[in-house]
Amino acid sequence: MKSRYFLLFPILCCFVPGFGQNYRPSPVKAYLSLTGEVNLLTFFINTAYDYWDEEEVDFYYEELLESQKWLEWQADIWGQELEFNNDAFLGDNKSTVYLEKVLRGSNPESTIGKIMKEIGFKGLDDFLEYYQFDLDTRKLKIVLFVKSNNRSHAYNRWSVKEMDLAVIYCRNTIGMITGSTVIAHEILHQFGAWDLYYELGRSQTRETSDIIREKYPNSIMRRTSGNENTLEVDEVTAWRIGWGAFQKEFRRYDPVVNSKERVKEYQDYQWARRKSLIHFNLKKEKKGQKN
Ligand SMILES: [Zn+2]
């Protein structure tokens, strides 16, 4: 039943016009929205790079609870009911598990499979059955805190559009602590939120990111730095996660829609870089001739 459901989802996306684009509450959309009861399962992953100690686990777990409080507060502002439940898998939501490495972009399904084997289950289905957790009627998101030196990100397990496994690396590339705002950002991704910040070649173009900076300067999908009380769930994200209505202009922020422009920006950048490198080498050669 479960696997059939998740097979059905991409088919629905293909054949129902505008599905996933317009805010039309349907049983599927209601299931995917960041509303009602959301069950969270968390694991702390030790890697060859580093190990968790108890104090650190407690620290990040507190940050996770803080991020949930923030999201519940934002839901309230948007007139939505939201409640996180961390107790659906009592005893297992703070487990530390060793996986040699969890690379950015590694297969989420096999990652979950490996974790389940480490904690003594045959797989995720076996685990869910043990806890009598029915995926057809209850929402489940899995968050991994990985001890590694990498950037945090979320990715999907079951479908292209909605992300069910978030991987949060607990020391990012510049060595900063990953706090509650980053965790909230990643949880929002799990419910379909788009990145709204500018980074060459990713998610937004220069033009769309300029508009976003003007319109939604405090969006948590644009920045995670600063005081959490100054951040918010913007209109675009609210639509993505099922809190707000669709507006036509939101389409331009769709990373799929603006991908052509993003690729062009990236190619222009590379071309400019190559040109300056050629110029630099020529100058060096000339200088060498003079000497
Ligand atoms: Zn992001």
Give 154 Cα–ligand 1 centroid separation in angstroms.
7
Q: Note whether 69 and 101 are same-domain residues.
A: yes
Distance 110 CA to ligand 1 centre (A): 22
**pLDDT tens track for 201-210:** 788 999 999 9
Give the per-residue pLDDT at 156. Answer: 53
My answer on whether 120 and 180 are in the same domain is yes
Expressed in angstroms and rounded, the spacing between residue 268 Cα and the centre of ligand 1 is 24
Residue 171 lies inside a defined structural domain of this protein: yes
Domain assignment of residue 252, yes or no: yes
Domain span holding position 213: 198-238+247-291
Residue 213 domain flag: yes
Give the distance (Å) from ligand 1 centre to CA of residue 126.
31
Please tell me the pTM assigned to this model: 0.80
Do residue 61 and residue 176 come from a single domain? yes
| CB-based contact 194:238 (threshold 8 Å) | no
Q: Which residue numbers in the chain have pLDDT < 50?
A: 1-28, 158-163, 172-173
Residues 141 and 190: beta-carbon distance below 8 Å: yes
- What is the pLDDT, as a whole number, of residue 6? 42
Give the pairing type, strands 82-85 and 36-46.
parallel
Count of structural domains, the chain: 2
pLDDT of 120 reads: 93
What pLDDT sits at residue 31?
64
Same domain for 48 and 110, yes or no, is: yes
Q: What is the pLDDT of residue 1?
A: 40
Query: Do 113 and 123 form a contact (C-beta atoms < 8 A)?
Result: yes
CA pair distance 225, 248, nearest whole angstrom: 29
Place of tokens 């088919």: 11
Tell me the per-residue pLDDT of 109-141, one tens digit each, with 9 for 90 and over: 888 889 999 999 999 889 999 999 988 788 888
Q: What is the CATH number of the domain that holds 103?
A: 3.40.390
Q: Cα(221) to centroid of ligand 1, in Å?
A: 6
- The Å distance, Cα 66 to ligand 1 centre, comes to 18
Structure-block tokens of residue 237: 């994200």
Q: Are strands 198-199 and 202-203 parallel, antiparallel or unpaired?
A: antiparallel
Do 180 and 211 lie in a common domain?
Answer: no
- Ligand 1: centre distance to CA 228 (Å): 16
CA of 280 to the centre of ligand 1 (A): 36
